[in-house]
Amino acid sequence: MGNQKIIGALPGEHNLQDYDKACREFSFEMLAREFYGNAGKINIVHRVIDHNIERGRGDRMALYYDADDRQASYTFNELNEQVNRFANVLDKYGLQKGDRLAIFLPRSPELYISFLGAAKKGVIVVPMFEAFMKDAVRERLLSSGAQALVTNAELLSRVPRQELPDLRAVLITQGAGDAQTLDWYSEVAGASPRTEFCWVNREDPLFILYAAGADGRPKGLVHVHDMMLGLWATAAWVHDLKEDDVYWCTADPGWITGIAYGFWAPWLHGVPVLVKGGRFDAEQWCRALEKYRVSVWYSAPTAFRMIIAAGKEVYGRYDLGRLRHILSVGEPLTDDVMQWSLETLGVPIYDTWWMSETGMNMICNLRCLNIKMGSIGRPVPGIQAAVVDDEGNELPPYRIGNLAVRAGWPAMARDVWGNREKYEEYFRLKPWFISGDAAYMDEDGYFYFQGRVDGVINTAGERVGPWEVEEKLREHPAVQDAGVAGKPDKIRGEIIKAYVVLQPGYEWSHALGEELRNFVKTGLAAHAAPREFAVKESIPKTPDGKVDRKVLRGWVLELGK
Ligand code: WTA
């Protein structure tokens, strides 16, 4: 039933003093009145840029970019100018409110500038993780019907342009494009540094993020400008951001964390963010923490474990004394990681539970609460969570069931793009949003995460849909059928294990395993490639013909012993 040890009240300033009072008295509608006043129309970009400039923070740093071959920084004023220029480029190519701009870039300043420039014009952004290969890219561009794309020359080769009739403008930030593409820099340089806002409604779309489900194609979750309320509140209460903080959220903006907390949430508080280019590297990450004097750090257990594994001779060389606290997301925060942080860095790690669908931190170890080890914490004020059975009845403490949230919070995804039915499945047990996670609650209202119920895989904090991987494997001539599941792993949380039924005439070999792994890697995405395979006679199916994820779960757990 989880470790009940209480670390005790932690020192420090608290934005949120009295949790119970806040839960009783706070509502997001109250916050909305304070935030929006009588303004009928809003725009999140106004709040993250103009509002900071109006408060005299225009010359303060907004973005530090750090990669091996490039360092750059932007104040809010400088960011504003770039954002305006890019917004005008979108105008020039005829993009209007409600049109879609896909962004397929590695972490780089152009990614953030393009995102904000689009949002300023009411254009909906479709972020795509840079590791996606052709199938995943095609799927997202076709589904969203994106009219424009920002990418670089290298990634452009994964964009099947001839199959995308809606795509009419492609902007290249790096490397040579071709006769059909535009150069991002010369377009931006040639555009005016001033522009008008497109004022939108609270419910107007801001971005569409494709997230894996257990069965079927990834779902285009539609997030709206109103999410700023939830991001502002959680940045204050959960992340405890203060104006002189330097904040580093290590997630890529191809995932929800890298969007919501990568830049929106900190900029809503005028706090500068660090964006680190390149891949994970324990030493470089520690160096970045020291160099940029990071005071609040948001990352994932896999990264912490990799830094711990790199050893004291790596992290011990850097002065991480600026850190006020750390936050964690995406996978269970294990006791050993928490102990390491307390003992070595002298700061606690606050766990945050949420998902692409929720758009904001939902159940957290808030700074004003005691941390119970093993627990994801309690709901953020304004959020009502419960554990419910398969009929939607609330379960008493310690009973494991569906982790559910009462529908209607500001950052909740408002739709699945082009598929209302899929969206409504989340709310099949009204008034609850059903997360797909299992959990139980203790008598003090703390929640304990117990894994996914639906077969969605979480490898190194990255969400992978088994169905997409299975579809890809079935395309290979040697594979007749495939079933994929997450197998528990000490470092990565889960790894992807694939069960395959071979076509007649094929025999299993190590080489075939490598070939299949590569096939998924180059067709779909590296993080979606199975690390383990097993050959089976058949794949278990449910009566409606879907892979039986419960049986597969049993297989991986048994073999995982
Ligand atoms: C898992 C990431 C354990 C969970 C923000 C959820 C967690 C899925 C935690 C969403 C946590 C998220 N402890 N597991 N603190 N936070 N998860 O959409 O299974 O990429 O359903 O959003 O990550 O993944 P997603």
ipTM value for the complex = 0.99
CB 456 within 8 A of CB 468: no
Q: Determine whether the shortest distance from the Cβ of 494 to ligand 1 is under 6 A.
A: no
Q: Determine whether the shortest distance from the Cβ of 240 to ligand 1 is under 6 A.
A: no
Q: Determine whether the shortest distance from the Cβ of 463 to ligand 1 is under 6 A.
A: yes
- Domain-located, residue 354: yes
Residue among 458, 459, 553 whose CB has most ligand 1 atoms within 8 A, to mutate: 458
- Domain-located, residue 1: no
- Domain-located, residue 363: yes
How is residue 155 written in tokens?
Answer: 């990634």
Q: Ligand 1 centroid to 22 CA: how many Å?
A: 25
Residue among 231, 355, 449 whose CB has most ligand 1 atoms within 8 A, to mutate: 355
Same domain flag for 126 and 227: yes
Question: DSSP secondary structure string, 528-558?
Answer: GS-SEEEE-S---B-TTSSB-HHHHHHHHHH
Q: How far apart are CA 485 and CA 557, in angstroms?
A: 10
Q: Determine whether the shortest distance from the Cβ of 470 to ligand 1 is under 6 A.
A: no
379, 405, 437 - which closes a domain = 437
Same domain flag for 324 and 250: yes
Q: Per the structure, how many domains does the chain have? A: 2
Residue nearest to atom 6 of ligand 1 (CA): 355
Same domain flag for 203 and 252: yes
Same domain flag for 424 and 469: no
392, 409, 437 - which closes a domain = 437
Same domain flag for 364 and 324: yes
- 420: which residues sit within 8 A by CB, 6+ positions away? none
Q: Ligand 1 centroid to 354 CA: how many Å?
A: 6
Supply the pLDDT for residue 426.
97
- Domain-located, residue 446: no
437, 472, 488 - which closes a domain = 437
Q: Determine whether the shortest distance from the Cβ of 285 to ligand 1 is under 6 A.
A: no
- Domain-located, residue 492: yes
- Domain-located, residue 358: yes
CB 524 within 8 A of CB 468: yes
- Domain-located, residue 529: yes
Supply the pLDDT for residue 92.
98
Q: Ligand 1 centroid to 514 CA: how many Å?
A: 29
Supply the pLDDT for residue 15.
62
Same domain flag for 236 and 332: yes
Mean pLDDT by runs of 10 across the 561 residues of the chain is 34 62 89 87 97 96 97 98 98 98 98 99 98 96 98 97 97 96 98 98 98 92 98 94 95 98 97 96 97 98 96 96 97 94 96 98 94 95 97 97 97 98 97 97 97 91 94 97 94 94 97 98 96 97 93 82 46
Same domain flag for 336 and 397: yes
CB 276 within 8 A of CB 287: no
Residue nearest to atom 2 of ligand 1 (CA): 355
Q: Ligand 1 centroid to 88 CA: how many Å?
A: 37
Same domain flag for 37 and 123: yes
Supply the pLDDT for residue 40.
83
Same domain flag for 431 and 463: no
Same domain flag for 115 and 231: yes
- Domain-located, residue 452: no
Q: What angle do CA 6, 8, 12 make, to 5 degrees?
A: 145
* CATH number (domain holding residue 511): 3.30.300.30
Residue among 354, 357, 402, 426 whose CB has most ligand 1 atoms within 8 A, to mutate: 354
* CATH number (domain holding residue 201): 3.40.50.12780
Q: Ligand 1 centroid to 182 CA: how many Å?
A: 38
Q: Ligand 1 centroid to 406 CA: how many Å?
A: 18
CB 335 within 8 A of CB 373: yes
Same domain flag for 525 and 412: no
Q: What is the pTM of this model?
A: 0.94
How is residue 377 annotated by DSSP?
Answer: B
- 556: which residues sit within 8 A by CB, 6+ positions away? 485, 486, 487, 488, 497
Residue among 331, 433, 435 whose CB has most ligand 1 atoms within 8 A, to mutate: 331
Q: Ligand 1 centroid to 162 CA: how many Å?
A: 36
Same domain flag for 461 and 423: no
How is residue 153 written in tokens?
Answer: 């020359």
* Number of H-type helices and E-type strands within the chain: 20, 26
Residue span of the structural domain in which 544 resides: 457-556
